[in-house]
């Protein structure tokens, strides 16, 4: 019960953080009628970006399928894609305490007897995605933005820090919510015992898990072409998606170069992985707006519309995961439940 309560409190704090952020975004967007910029969105371009993003998620499913096969886990390609969309739905749409990666890791073990290796592939897939995202951000910053004066000082605004001070109210709300979440985790007694319990669990199961992890790591390292192919797919799909949003930005009148998109989008995606909100909501949008407004000199209403469009694409592309869950398409074909009998 204490463990259950601590999960509920942490979930409540995350939902509260997102709720406050959404209310703040609505109020801020209503000022000076910034929301009107949303009416200028080209519907065809938005639909095209939605299609590109859905295709990119199928490619992510293919990437995970490759990692599974590297571990000699031979589940079907479309089964891997369905499980990926299920996890995407839980990440972006479900305010639960269980993330999409854990959902994927749990259900993929229903498809194979190599449960540890299957679950590990989910987190290897996540690590590959985050690492490639950081590499893209670092590459475009070092070769296209490093040393530019507008990164440190924006003309007419007296520098990034000073211009960020114009939004100190939003920043204070953000850091206050983050502080409340962290204090709630530290001060509430059941949550303080989580590290100790986790350490005890690790000590009790470490030898076996370490052995399996070592074997899996050796197997991945013995297939460098597979790892290179996985990274190549990741770079391709991320560049494809960000380029699509660049076209959307152009339709909104944003003249900032595409190099800003490659740095800002990837950076905010990494920040959105920090579990202080739900699916990175508010964190991704807030940081994306701050970066575009203060560094790329984009108007507030255009940055607002661009950030909301990205969130809309993520949510709409996640909806197939709901249908997969309702239809039971995430379960293996030989999985069934006899409702007339009790579960053993």
Average pLDDT of the residues of the chain: 78
Q: What's the confidence (pLDDT) of residue 339?
A: 42
Name the pLDDT band for 157 (thresholds 50, 70, 90). very low
| pLDDT surpassing 80 at residue 205 | no
Q: Could you read off the pLDDT of 76-93 as tens digits, one per residue?
A: 899 999 999 999 998 888
- DSSP one-letter code for 167: G
Q: Are 304 and 286 in contact (CB under 8 A)?
A: no
> How many angstroms separate the CA atoms of 130 and 124, rounded?
10
- Number of Cα atoms under 13 Å in the Cβ half of residue 240: 18
Q: Are 224 and 252 in contact (CB under 8 A)?
A: no
Rounded to 10 degrees, the C-alpha dihedral 168/173/175/180 comes to 160
| pLDDT surpassing 50 at residue 335 | no
Q: Could you read off the pLDDT of 67-77 as tens digits, one per residue?
A: 888 888 888 89
Reference 284, options 298, 292, 273, 295; nearest CA is 273
Task: Kindly state the average pLDDT of the residues 51-60.
Answer: 94
By CB atoms closer than 10 A (0-12, 13-18, 19+), residue 55 is middle
Q: 44 vs 30, 50, 97, 243, CA distance in Å?
A: 26, 10, 36, 15
Helix (H) or strand (E) holding 136: helix 115-140
- Give the CA angle between residues 46, 271, 57 to the nearest 5°: 45
- DSSP one-letter code for 146: T
Reference 276, options 175, 169, 134; nearest CA is 175
> How many angstroms separate the CA atoms of 141 and 260, rounded?
8
């Amino acid at each position: 019960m204490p463990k259950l309560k601590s999960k509920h409190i942490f979930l409540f704090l995350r939902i509260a953080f997102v709720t406050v952020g959404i209310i703040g975004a609505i109020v801020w967007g209503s000022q000076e009628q910034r929301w009107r910029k949303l009416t200028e969105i080209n519907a065809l371009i938005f639909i095209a970006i939605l299609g590109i993003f859905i295709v990119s998620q199928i490619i992510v499913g293919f990437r995970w399928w490759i990692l599974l096969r590297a571990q000699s886990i031979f589940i079907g390609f479309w089964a891997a894609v369905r499980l990926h969309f299920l996890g995407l739905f839980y990440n972006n749409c479900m305010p639960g305490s269980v993330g999409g990666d854990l959902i994927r890791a749990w259900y993929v073990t229903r498809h194979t007897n190599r449960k540890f290796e299957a679950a590990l592939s989910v987190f290897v897939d996540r690590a590959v995605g985050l690492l490639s995202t950081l590499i893209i951000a670092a590459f475009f910053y070092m070769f296209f933005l490093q040393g530019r004066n507008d990164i440190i000082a924006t003309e007419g605004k007296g520098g990034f820090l000073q211009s960020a001070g114009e939004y100190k109210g939003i920043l204070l709300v953000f850091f206050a919510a983050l502080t409340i979440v962290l204090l709630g985790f530290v001060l509430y007694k059941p949550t303080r015992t989580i590290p100790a319990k986790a350490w005890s669990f690790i000590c009790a199961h470490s030898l076996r898990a370490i052995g399996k992890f070592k074997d899996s790591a050796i197997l991945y390292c013995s297939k460098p072409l597979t790892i290179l192919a996985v990274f190549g797919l990741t770079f391709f799909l991320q560049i494809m998606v960000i380029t699509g949003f660049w076209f959307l930005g152009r339709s909104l009148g944003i003249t900032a170069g595409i190099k800003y998109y490659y740095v800002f989008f990837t950076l905010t995606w990494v920040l959105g992985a920090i579990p202080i909100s739900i699916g990175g909501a508010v964190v991704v949008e807030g940081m994306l707006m701050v970066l575009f407004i203060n560094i790329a000199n984009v108007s507030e209403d255009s940055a607002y519309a661009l950030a909301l469009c990205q969130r809309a694409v993520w949510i709409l592309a996640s909806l197939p995961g709901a249908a997969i869950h309702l239809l039971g398409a995430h379960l293996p074909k030989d999985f069934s439940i006899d409702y007339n009998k009790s579960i053993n």
